[in-house]
Amino acid sequence: MGRSSLRTLLVAVVTAVLTGGLVLAAPSAGAAVRPVGPLSPASGALFGALVNPNRADPSSTPAEVSALETKIGRTLEIVNHFYTYQQQVGTQGEVQDIAGGRTPMITWGATSTTRIKQGLEDSWIRAQAIRIKNLGAPVFLRYFHEPEGNYRNAMVSSAADYITAWKRARTLFDAVGATNVVWVFCTTAYAFRVAETRPPQSFYPGDAYVDWIGADGYNFAPVKPGAKWNSFSQVFSRWYTWAAQRPKPLMAAEYGVLDDPSIPARKAAWYDDMRTVVPTAFPLLQAVVAWSTANTKEGRVLDWNVDSSASALAAWRRMALDPYFMSTS
């Protein structure tokens, strides 16, 4: 192309842009501006875990957390504490977390949306709010997570009822001055990949009632019959595409991978791949929280522990010590 022709083409392109005649491609998720919310790190992603090696109660005790931190040579930034609805929150080591420079994440809140909506749970929700307020430091609250799951059908009558229940709970927390609570809306990543659950995005309470958006995602192969081996990207990408459209920090609130006896280093490779793809393909993820425990389901042992093998622990430790995952809020 001659210089004259090139000049003519450039003029035409500029004119088209200025007059709206040319639609430029939207930036990819990787080019998007990271939303800033409460507890957002300045860069990179906060690194955390639920630490409960033998699935015994309570979860993430100070001793369990300290033992894992010793193995990886660093302090966890987020520690997930899992509570049933009737358990009093704030009793599993949150005080020690805060004193040690960690941020607790309290996973709590699943009960009948109808009862919440009708105000029948107000006193209990208010009491829990006061307990978290009295911790006196910022706390992630992963309230009523995975509402779309089929196992929640008996207590979640509809997405609309769930949203009403969520808003009521947040209003009760606000009323007692629990301003240290950072609200995490969390579904499964799986529900974005299949049609057998209710649409997870339909449960979103709205930007005014949510501080962070999370998802739980797992690679169940080879233990679960018929499950294919899925990388971190395959597990979380469809959820991420939706969540990246909201102006909220994003969190992999639970992630896990199992060992493959036929390929002993496969779990380690999964972690190494995750360490690479989170900064490059999931830049809006501002926290990653491992599900480090073992449980038995349908007679099968699912060992999600990050130290289930020496190679897995070494790989998870490499991620833990990667500068991208050593950000501070």
pLDDT tens per residue across all 329 residues of the chain: 333 333 333 233 223 322 233 222 233 344 478 999 999 999 999 999 999 998 888 899 999 999 999 999 999 999 999 999 999 999 999 999 999 999 999 999 999 999 999 999 999 999 999 999 999 999 999 999 999 999 999 999 999 999 999 999 999 999 999 999 999 999 999 999 987 779 999 999 999 999 999 999 999 999 999 999 999 999 999 999 999 999 999 999 999 999 999 999 999 999 999 999 999 999 999 999 999 999 888 889 999 999 999 999 999 999 999 999 997 55
| 3-class DSSP assignment, residue 136 | coil
Q: How many CB atoms lie within 10 A of CB 86?
A: 7
| 3-class DSSP assignment, residue 224 | coil
User: Which pLDDT score is estimated for 153?
Assistant: 93
| Matching residue, tokens 């704030």 | 90
pLDDT tens digits for 83-96?
Answer: 999 999 999 999 99
Question: What is 42-325's CATH topology?
Answer: TIM Barrel (3.20.20)
- For residue 244, give the nearest of 31, 7, 39, 19 by alpha carbon: 31
pLDDT tens digits for 213-247?
Answer: 999 999 999 999 999 999 999 999 999 999 999 99
User: Which pLDDT score is estimated for 195?
Assistant: 76
User: Which pLDDT score is estimated for 80?
Assistant: 98
Q: Which residues contact 91 (CB under 8 A, 6 or more apart)?
A: 58
User: Which pLDDT score is estimated for 252?
Assistant: 99
User: Which pLDDT score is estimated for 327?
Assistant: 74
Q: Break the chain into its structural domains and give their ranges.
A: 42-325
Q: How many Cα atoms are found within 13 Å in the side-chain-facing hemisphere of 150? A: 6
Q: How far apart are CA 94 and CA 79, in angstroms?
A: 8
User: Which pLDDT score is estimated for 196?
Assistant: 72
- For residue 50, give the nearest of 95, 93, 17, 21 by alpha carbon: 93
